[in-house]
């Protein structure tokens, strides 16, 4: 199950609670990725070819990049 989210708080509720993966806008700045991943056991699993304009979940800048984020097993 992969859900689209637009709030960072939803990462914890879904991914860290083992309820699936999430996809969200991320600007691909290394700092933003590091901020999202932190010490979490989850990480960016892939960058989608699909484009969807929105705001980076970390810094709020406009981006069309979508990533899938989840735990690796």
- How far is the C-alpha of 69 from the C-alpha of 66, rounded, in Å? 10
The stretch 64-70 carries a mean pLDDT of: 95
* pLDDT at residue 72, rounded to an integer: 85
- Asked if residue 68 lies in contact with residue 23, where contact means CB atoms within 8 angstroms, the answer is yes
Asked whether the whole model's pTM tops 0.85, one would answer: yes
Residue range 28-66, pLDDT digits in tens? 999 999 999 888 889 999 999 999 999 999 999 999 999
User: pLDDT class for 16, splitting at 50, 70, 90?
Assistant: confident
* pLDDT at residue 39, rounded to an integer: 80
* pLDDT at residue 62, rounded to an integer: 97
């Amino acid at each position: 199950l992969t859900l689209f989210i637009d709030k960072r708080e939803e990462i914890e509720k879904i991914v860290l609670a083992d309820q699936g993966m999430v996809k969200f806008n991320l600007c691909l700045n290394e700092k933003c990725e590091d901020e999202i991943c932190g010490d979490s056991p989850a990480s960016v699993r892939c960058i989608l070819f699909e484009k969807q304009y929105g705001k980076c979940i970390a810094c709020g800048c406009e981006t069309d990049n979508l990533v899938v984020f989840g735990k690796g097993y």
